[in-house]
């Protein structure tokens, strides 16, 4: 997945960067001309006008540095502007544990392999057996969905970034730049939050499976099976709520709801 994303960015990103540079130069020329005409028509030169012009030049310099070093290494840092975000989030995800997703998949596979289909005449046991298989499959799908969605969304934001950076210097349209930057950081942090959630819940799930006593009777199998289904459903819904949890972290809200509209 990451190799495919890197190949896409390497082939398509230069065209977007070139387009963004042309947009930035056009916006910069318009802003400088507009500021100069306003100062000329003002009649008297004041310190406030000169301060506004110097502020505009400084903002243009910052914006030009972001668009020029969007993919090229920044002198003194050795990392490009876009990689400042993606590299740091990848490092944070690795600190939590890059094997958390693999461990969760392995735990779910062990639970899948440990299930034995009951007798064909045991209707209730068969219903619980197939329900557990379906829930385990949904949990595995949720793991892959959240991780892949975070990587793809971050790559899309990185690819379209050069089209939003030029709006950094436009006074009434700078919200486009800040909105893109917030989305870029938020989606880049999605794998970090997902790894943290999966790491914690995988430990809980594995500990629960280790506490199951061997040689369970039929009634005990039904009881522990219902408990396992409830835990797996909670895990699946929680993983699907990771994007909403990430948005809550960046927006400052709390109290996530487990409604279908919130999950999807």
Q: What is the pLDDT of residue 183?
A: 92
Average pLDDT over residues 55-62: 92
Q: How far apart are CA 147 and CA 191, in angstroms?
A: 6
The secondary element (H helix, E strand) that includes residue 215 is none
Q: How much is the pLDDT for 233?
A: 84
Distance CA 27, CA 9 (A): 25
Residue extents of the structural domains in the chain: 2-263
User: Do residues 132 and 118 make contact, with C-beta atoms less than 8 angstroms apart?
Assistant: no
Confidence of residue 184 (pLDDT cuts 50, 70, 90): very high
Whole-number pLDDT of residue 242: 86
pLDDT value of residue 27? 93
Residue pLDDT, tens place only, 116-165: 656 666 666 667 667 777 777 787 788 788 888 888 888 889 999 999 99
**Cα separation of 85 and 186, whole Å?**
10
Residue 160 CA to residue 48 CA, distance in Å, equals 36
pLDDT at residue 115 is higher than 70: no
């Amino acid at each position: 997945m990451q190799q495919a994303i890197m190949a896409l960015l390497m082939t398509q990103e230069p065209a977007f960067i070139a387009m963004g540079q042309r947009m930035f130069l056009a916006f910069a020329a318009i802003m400088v001309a507009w500021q100069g005409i306003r100062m000329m028509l003002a009649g008297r030169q004041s310190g406030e006008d000169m301060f506004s012009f110097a502020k505009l030049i400084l903002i243009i310099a910052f914006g030009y540095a972001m668009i020029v070093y969007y993919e090229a290494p920044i002198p003194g840092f050795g990392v490009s502007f876009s990689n400042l975000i993606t590299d740091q989030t990848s490092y944070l995800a690795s600190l939590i544990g890059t094997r958390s997703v693999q461990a969760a998949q392995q735990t779910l596979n062990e639970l899948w392999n440990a299930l034995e289909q009951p007798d064909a005449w045991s209707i209730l046991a068969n219903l619980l057996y197939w329900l557990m298989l379906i829930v385990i499959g949904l949990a595995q799908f949720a793991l892959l969905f959240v991780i892949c969605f975070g990587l793809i969304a971050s790559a899309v934001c990185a690819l379209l970034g050069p089209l939003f950076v030029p709006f950094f210097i436009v006074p009434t349209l700078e919200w486009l730049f800040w909105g893109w930057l917030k989305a870029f950081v938020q989606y880049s942090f999605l794998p970090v939050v997902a790894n943290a959630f999966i790491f914690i819940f995988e430990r809980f799930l594995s500990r629960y499976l280790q506490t199951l006593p061997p040689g369970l009777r039929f009634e005990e199998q039904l009881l522990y099976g219902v408990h396992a289904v409830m835990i797996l459903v909670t895990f699946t819904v929680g993983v699907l709520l990771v994007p909403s949890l990430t948005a809550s972290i960046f927006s400052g809200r709390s109290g996530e709801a487990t409604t279908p509209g919130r999950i999807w």
